Every structure is written in structure tokens, then in C-alpha cells.
Structure 1
Amino acid sequence: MKKRLKQGTIILLGIILAGLLLFKLVGSSSLFNKDILSTSQIIKNIGSQTIKTRQTSQEKLTATYKKALNSDQYTSAKPYVKVNPYGTSPLSALVLFKTNTATKVTVEVVGKTAKTSIKSEVGKNYTKSHTISVLGLYANYQNKVRLTLTDKAGHKTYQTITVKTAALPKAIASMSLKVKKADKTKMSIGNSSLTFLVRSTQYPVGVDADGEIRWYSTNYVQHIFKVLSNGHLLYLTKPDNKDLVYNDLLETDFMGRVYREYQFSTETRNNESANDKTETTIIHHDAIELPNHNLLLTVSDGGSKYVEDTMVELSRKTGKVVKVIDLKKLLPAELYETYKATKRADGKLDWFHQNSIDYDTSDDSIVISSRNQDLVMKLDYKTSKIKWLFSSKSASKWPLKYRKLLLKAADSQTGNTPPQFGRPAKRTRSN
């Protein structure tokens, strides 16, 4: 009996010691941290779904335009023209007409000066029915729009139409650039291109080489403004401009027609000032399109303690979250548990502050950046394992298991190229 008691005591002590060792090793990690949420909790907090509020409201407009095109009463000489066809893009117009023979159409909004004309080809196929998106109109102006129609034999016909637009609203006009000198020979803008200016909040605008506003949306936009692989535009907006939360993500076009609309719960809303009386956002800095056409978004997890340290993959079709990457579960716990560098009024810790995502097709990985950790890192997207770290911190400040992932700096004196990660930099004697 005593022998059994002794053996039991030894086993119990072993279990206790093992537990203490485990706690020492990972006690400050997500295993014991109640503020680290599970994947299911994060998905619930995000609460993403597809809705059709805007699409439904646009159905009558689209039906009207289809009816006009099918009426056979509009020709290239007398086309159907509708400025701002979907109510959110005042410097655009929809032009509809039919031709007797199948043709291709090229459209040009004539610029006021050199290298400010906006040209585009409408579709790749020859057709008798033409639906033309005219983009890059000047505000409060009689715009000249040139149409070039080319048939299969290569014969060209030309038509110029005039499109009148309204003046810019005061809020938009105040954003106009005053260009004192423009050397267009050194610009990458050239013909048919605009530079888009997207502030942290409110109206996005597109300007030409003269700094003139040639496109804007009446929808407020925050941070996210990307062109997708299908040519559509992705941006983050609100259900209404008067609302305080940016929680609607739209797949639209530059004419304002909406193709997909994703709405999020407000549980993960966040802003820089931590003041709930000002505008807050769901996707705080970046969104990219993945090779499978799903969307990868930078978000907060919706917990009570940490912000701006999570990514979610959103199904393009369903709007549901299909993958979660919580950076607290990948990086050393002391980075967020002892973080004190920045303060927020709400007491939450913005320890990582992710700014951007870039997808690397060569090895199915993503490169992300952290403002508050002075860090750039690469993750295997399938496994979420860290491939390398580019950090301002010295190697000694990283736990051992992370040191092999640190990139080594090139020798600035010898001009050596950067060595592979985890290997010591080669030193060369210099006189």
C-alpha cells in the first residue's frame, strides 16, 4: 500500500511539475489568455452577410436602360444618354444605341489640354447593340464625347455627342487641386488615366494631369478602394452617409451600378480616436482579392482588449468568413501582453496596427506590415505559418524559436546582397 501511495505521489508531482513547466512556457499565450477569441467567436463578431439593398433599388433603373436599348429608336447619331445613371457617379454617363451592322466602339472624352483625354474601347466583340460607359467627364461643362465605330471590314465612322454635367458640390469642389506647374512628359498618367485620391473618410475623387476632378462618388468611402480583376471597383462605405459606421463593402463599377454588397455587424467597429461618437470602421486599412477571387480583409476581432490584429477571408459568393488569421496566435505573447507604446481612450491595445497586405503568387503567401511593431512579415497563406520576419528589433529581443525567421541586414559598407533568413550575415574586412 505504501509503495502504491509513493508511486501515486510521484506521478502526481510529475503532473504538477509538467503543468507548471507548460504554464511557464505558454502561460502568457492564447492558451491561457481569456482575451484571445476563438475562430468561431471572431466569425460571429464579424457577422458578415450578402445583402441586396442597393441592387434591388437599382433594378428599375437597369430595366429602364434595357428597354431603351431594345426600343430600336436610338442610333449613333441620336443615342440615348443618361448622366449619372445610378445616382452616385455624377461625372459619368450611359450611352445606348444600335447600329445596322456589327461594329466595335471606341469612346473618347475630349480633354481640355494635352494628355487629359479619356479613351476606352467598349468590349472585344462586334455587335449591333451598344451599351457604353462614358467616364471622365468634366463638371459643369459641355463635354465633347467622340465615338469611333469600326466594322469587321475595318471601315470607320465617327460621331461626336455633347454631354452636359452639373457643377461640383461644395464639399467636392473644396478638394480640387491647384497645380502651379505640370510637366506631363514626366507623368505616368498620360492619356486615358486618372489618379484617385481616397482620404480616410468621405468622398473619393479622380483627377487628371491638370489636377481637375473628372470622377467622384457621392458615397462616402473609407480606406478601401481597389480595382478587382474583373474591372469592378471594391470600396468600403456606409448604409447611409449620415451613419457613423462604415460596414458596407461594395463591388460596383465606376458608373455606380452595384453587383455585390456585403454587410458586417458593428461588433468589431473601431477607429483611431476610440471615440464612438465619431465615424468608426469595420475594415480598418486594407483589402485584397485572392487568386480564388475571395477577399482578404484587415479587421479587429471584436474582443474587449485588442484591435487591428486580425485578418479574415470573405467568400465572394456568400459573404461568409471562411478563414481567420489572428496574429496574436502567431507572434510572441509578450508583444501584445506587455505593449505600452501607444494609448487609446477606450483602453484597448493597438499593439500591431496592421497597415497592408500583399499576395505573392510565387509561393502562395502574403506579406503584411505592422506600424506599431515596426515589422514586415511573410506568411504561408495555406498554413498561416511565418516564413520570415523583417524587424527593427534586435534578434536578442525575440524568443529563440523566432530568431531563425529574422531576415539579416545587408552589409552597408561592402554592398553585399541580403543573405537568406536565419543565416548570419557574411562580413568582409574593409580598410
Structure 2
Amino acid sequence: MKLSKSFCVMVLAGITLIIPNISLAMGGPSGAKMDWQIQGKIGAVKLNPYNLSPLTAVIMDGGYILKDIKVTILPKPNGQTISYSVSENMAKTYGGIPIFGLYPSYLNSVKVSYTKISNNKSEKIIDEVYKITTPGVSIMPSGNTSQTGSPFANVKIIKMDKKFNDRLYLVNNAPGKQSGKGSQAVWNNPAGGALEWDENSNVFIIDTKGEIRWYFDNDKLMDWNNIYNRGIMMGFKQNNDGALTWGFGQRYVKYDVMGREIFNRTLPSSYIDFSHAMDNMQNGHYLLRVASANVKRADGKNVRSVRDVVIEVDQNGNVVDDWRLYDILDPYRSTIIKALDQGAVCLNIDANKAGVTLSDEELAKMDENNQFGDIAGTGVGRNWAHVNSVDYDPSDDSIIISSRHQSAIVKIGRDKKIKWILGAHKGWGKKFQQYLLQPINSNGAKIVCEDEYSKCPGYENEKGGFDFTWTQHTAWRIDSKSNKRYLYLSVFDNGDARGAEQPPFASQKYSRAVIYKIDQQNKTVEQIWEYGKERGNEWFSPVTSLVEYQKDKNSIMVYSATAGMAFDLSKGISIGDPKPEIDEFIWGSKNPSVQIQFSGTNTGYQAMPFDVEKAFNAK
């Protein structure tokens, strides 16, 4: 018998053995061979380990226990070094050393040190260098002609104080509807809801040189053919364990920066339409800004509500409590609704309606015509409240909400009773007037305001004085400076409908970052810091944006996210893309220590410093 090249045949004691040719047995007699490239003394490099974070990698542990881990991403010439330690537990979680902060489209040099342990023997490895090649950034553009195809065309570092040289900033933008994707469904059983915000969004991290060092491949997270798995990503927060939480559409999620899923949940069935806010409570629960899936109105109509409910869920997704704001506040207060610029009602941007306001007659017709959904109007089933932030106050077990369409910041207890209202006094019914805060100056003297306390000294574009906030975002308690009586509050005052009216010229509009000190016992409010008036209309953000205190540097971080957005009112078109700007201030300073300006994007939403050390040192 002629033997083939592939097999040898042996006959021994009546047993026939067929033995593969050694040249075909890649792994040898013991199994498959591990033939990945190994650069150092442990394992291979695994790029994008969870398929959601392309600028991350894991140096696999090679079967060793690793501890005493230190990682440094060596910078480009004149670039920013990223360096962090990794806990032993996190190395076990990832099966090796997590690598974060790689440059895109680049042969990165990564320096690591560690101790490896095997068979109770340890070896200290110092300064091993790995080479890791990365792909380019592939954040999905909207397809609109006004967008460049990248998250931004240019990042201009205007100012960077050395105290902030180690900063990393996470940026969350919303470039707009993708051509042919999203906004393809309507809630109609019952009527209304806010599914119209079913659009593209992105999130990325830049360093202080303006380089992208991380982004989330959200197109792999979304399913544009499933209304329960798509929508604008909003409400990003870095948790105490270093991971990120946010929500989109009908879901809320938690992932770590490597792209590892911790949870990805559909909203509880009584609620719909997450947007804007997911607050991390001190007890491990989450506050979500949602809406009601089914409300029985006084007129007998069943509707979906719009951005007017806050729920508390526990770690397992069970509903603990809810705040139905249409039962707590006045959904028919129209003072601000009638003064809003209908061309920019948060992310519903429509240049054809720039400068247009609503009348009492138009509001009345909404009921007559059964108009419900994501439209500015009064009554349950319309966008009467537009709550865009929620924050928990552990000192008295209450929540603080920002209602854009009431130009009001409201504190509400667990018992659903109002504690105070920070906002213009105009238009509030008698039952609410007892909760309105009285403005005072630094000496404690009462500030008298005109037109039912809607126009205070400082309401016009001048230095000094006091003003309320108008169509504001992110009303957040500064925990480290507040106590049970005195509450420090950071707010982005967008400034539309300032003084409960539209100005004669759109160019007169301006935005502010502002800090208030509230005496909760005496029901007074003092404005202790502001920025933005001096920048005028070029820093004006009609929608979105953020102000947040940063404890690590005793600073105030501001994102004027749609600065520079402008309209030609005669033609009803946009005449300028926004130039979002990050500014960071030492506490009390009127001059920013950091100024970073973006261009080439559409709508900025929010931004925040990202703590890489926290991300990899969970216990």
C-alpha cells in the first residue's frame, strides 16, 4: 500500500494507528499552539477587547497573577503623558493590564511595570515597552452638509494653566439626525412622548493638547431597527468605581472605559423616553429623568408625558420611588413657554422658527386639536417642564431639578412637597409663592426686582447685580461646600427668554455660568459668582451646556456647548455652526485657567473631566 504524504499508518498488535503528519499539526500533540505575538514577558496584546472602545487594549496576563502595575502611554512629541496604576483586582477582571489613552492611527509606545507571580514565585518587571498600532477614529457623522465627518474639525487650545496640564475631558456631543437612521417611529398608544429625540450622538475624551485619546463606538451599541435600543446618549457620569453611566432613548446603561458592559437595561415599563440626566446617588441608586408611559388627564384623555418625571431605581433596576412633576408643579404655568424662542427648544433646533414665540391662542388650540408629544406647550402630554437635570441632596433626602421651560430650579422632598423654588416670581400661582426664594446681596440686604421679580438689577447685559436663570441646564448641588442649611448650587444660565421676554435683537442674548448660595432656612438666595456676560453673544448657548464644581482642583468647569450658534431671521436658516468651549476656573476667579474651543461640530451637549486613576483602581 502506498502511503500518502499526510498520514503514516502503523500496525501494532492488531491495532491500526493513524498519525497526522507533523507538518500539519500546528499545535503539536498537546493541542492548538499559542502563536500570537508576545512582545514582553507576559501575554499578547488584545486591541479593543470588548469591541466598543477602539483606543484601548489589554496586555494579557499570560497565566500569571499581576500586581504593582503601573502604565504610562508615552506621548507624541510635545504631547500629554497619560499615566495610571492598576489594582490587582482590575487586572483579574480584564485578564491582564488594561491600556487606556492610545492615540488613533498611530504606533503607540506603552511603558508598563508590574510584578508577576506564578507557583508562589514573584518577579518584578520594570519598564517594559510595548508597541501598539491603532485604527483611526470612526465616530459616525450625521451625514448633514454642515458637519465635517469627524466629531470636530479643529481643537484650539486658547489657554492652559499648568495646574490643569494633566486633565482629560470627556465630551458628549449630538451631531444630529443620521441620514435615513432614527426618528422613524411615533408613539401613538397612547398619544405623545418624546421619541423624536432618536438621533445620533457621540462621546470621546481629549487631552490638554487637543488630541483624542478615547472614544466609544456607539454605533455598535445601537440597533436602529429597534426603538428600544437607540437614541441620543446623554447624562454621562463617572461613578465612584470609575465606570460610566448614561442613558439613551428607552435604556440606561453602565459600561467601564474599556467597553465592558456592567449593565444595559430597558426602562421600567411604567416609564419612557430617558434624556438628559442620570444621577448617581450616594446609596448606590440612580435617579433617572424620564416620562410617564400612560397618564390619565383630567379631561379623560390618555397620553404619554414629556420630560416631567424622575424615578429612583436600585442597583438591580427595581423602582424605589418616583416624582411625577405634573402633580407637584403647575403644568399650566405659561409665563416662560410663551417667551421661548421656538427656533431652539433644547435639541429641537429649527432655524425657520428663530425668534418666534407662542401666544395664548396657540396654546389653547393644542387642546382643541389634540396636539400631544414633544412640543413646547402647557398641560400633561406636552413639553411644559423640560427637566434637564436632577441631583440628590442627602442632607434632607430630597431632589433638585432644573426645569428649562419654567426657568426654575426646584427642590422637592421625598414626601413630594416643594422646599423652595429658585426662579423669577412672575406667573406662579398663590399656592407656590411661599416657596419662591428672595434674592439678597453679599451684605444680606434684600434685592428688589421689577415686573413681579422677573427683572432684577443685573438682568440686562451689565456687570454686577443679580439675576435668575433662564432656560438653564445642570442645577447641581456642590456637595463639599454645602450643608443642611446652606446650599451652594452651580448652574448654566442659557439665557433665552431672559426677563420672560425676547430682546429686540437676537445679538443681545448672552449666557452665564453662575454659582448661588441658598439659605434654606430663611428662603434667600445670593449670587456669589458669574461668568459669561462679558463674552456677550459670541459665548451665548441657546441650548444644552454645563457647569460643575470639581473638588480635585477646587475649580468650576464650564462647557458652553452651542456657543456661536446663530440664525439669519430673514431667511430662517442657520448662518453659523456652534463653537463649543470648555472653560475651567479656580474657585472664585473671573478669569479661566483653561480655554478649549471646538469647531466643525454641530450641537455640543455636555463635558466633564475624566479621572483615569479612578477607572482602574476599583477595590
Short-chain TM bin: 0.5 to 0.7
Distance 1:312 1:223, change over 3 A: same
Identify which range, 338-347 or 223-232, moves more after superposition. 338-347
Aligned with 2:210: secondary structure?
coil
Matched, 1:105 2:79: no
Using the TM superposition, name which of 146-155 and 207-216 deviates more.
146-155
What does residue range 5-404 of structure 1 map to in structure 2 within 5 Å?
76-97=40-61, 103-114=67-78, 116-123=80-87, 131-149=96-114, 157-169=126-138, 171=140, 174-185=150-161, 188=164, 190-191=165-166, 193-200=167-174, 201-220=200-219, 222-237=233-248, 246-264=249-267, 269=272, 282-302=273-293, 303=295, 304=303, 306-317=305-316, 319-332=317-330, 334-335=332-333, 346=372, 348-380=381-413, 382-394=414-426, 397-404=427-434
Identify the structure with the greater strand proportion: 2
Q: Distance in 2 between matches of 1:247 and 1:159?
A: 45
Gaps of 5+ in 1: 1-67, 238-245, 270-281, 427-431
Q: Is the 8 A contact 1:408 1:419 kept in 2?
A: no
CA RMSD, Structure 1 to Structure 2 (Å): 3.9
* Bigger Cα displacement from structure 2, 178-187 vs 305-314: 178-187
Partner SS for 1:402:
helix
Q: Which amino acid aligns with 2:83?
A: K
Find the residue that maps to 1:116 and give its secondary structure: coil
By percentage of residues, which structure has more helix?
1
CA distance in structure 2 between the partners assigned to 1:353 and 1:310 by the alignment = 10
Shift of 1:139: 0.8
Which residue of the partner structure matches residue 548 of structure 2? none
C-alpha distance in structure 2 between counterparts of 1:126 and 1:195, whole Å: 23
Q: Does 1:408 align with 2:438?
A: yes
Shift of 1:76: 4.6
Q: CA deviation at 1:171?
A: 3.4
**1:219 Cα deviation after fit:** 1.3
Comparing 75-84 with 355-364, which one deviates more in the overlay?
A: 75-84
Q: 1:78: how far off? A: 4.8
Residue 322 to residue 363, structure 1, CA distance change in 2 (3 Å): closer
CA 1:333/1:81 → structure 2, altered by over 3 Å: closer, same or farther? closer
Q: Give the deviation of 1:117 after TM superposition.
A: 1.5
TM-fit CA distance, 1:248: 2.8
Write the distance in 1 (CA, Å) between the matches of 2:210 and 2:259.
Answer: 23
* Partners of 1:312 and 1:323 within 8 A in 2: yes
Deviations 1:288-328 (A, max 9, x none): 111221211001112416411111112221x2322111011
Give the distance between the partners of 1:253 and 1:127, measured in 2 at CA. Answer: 14
Distance in 1, matches of 2:209 and 2:276, equals 29
* Residue segments in structure 2 that go unaligned for 5+ positions in a row: 1-31, 142-148, 175-199, 220-231, 296-302, 340-357, 374-380, 447-516, 527-619
Residue range with higher mean Cα deviation, 166-175 or 195-204: 166-175
Give 1:218 shift. 1.1
Match of 1:10 in 2: none
Alpha-carbon distance between aligned partners in 1 of 2:287 and 2:269, rounded to the nearest angstrom: 18
Contact 1:177 1:211 in 2 (8 A): no
Q: How many residues align?
A: 331
- How far residue 424 of structure 1 moved from its aligned partner, in angstroms, is 8.5
TM-score by length of 2: 0.47
- Tell me how far 1:94 sits from its aligned partner: 1.1
The 8 Å contact of residues 309 and 354 in structure 1, kept in 2 or not, is answered as yes
Please give the TM-score of this superposition, normalised by the length of structure 1: 0.66
Summarize the Cα distance change of 1:155–1:211 in structure 2 as closer, same or farther, 3 Å threshold.
same
State percent identity of aligned pairs. 27
Q: Which amino acid aligns with 2:403?
A: S
Amino acid at match of 1:392: A
Q: Which amino acid aligns with 1:316?
A: Q
- How far is the alpha carbon of 1:368 from its aligned partner? 1.1
Query: 1:212: how far off?
Result: 1.5
Superposed CA offset, 1:51-70 (max 9, x none): xxxxxxxxxxxxxxxxx9x9
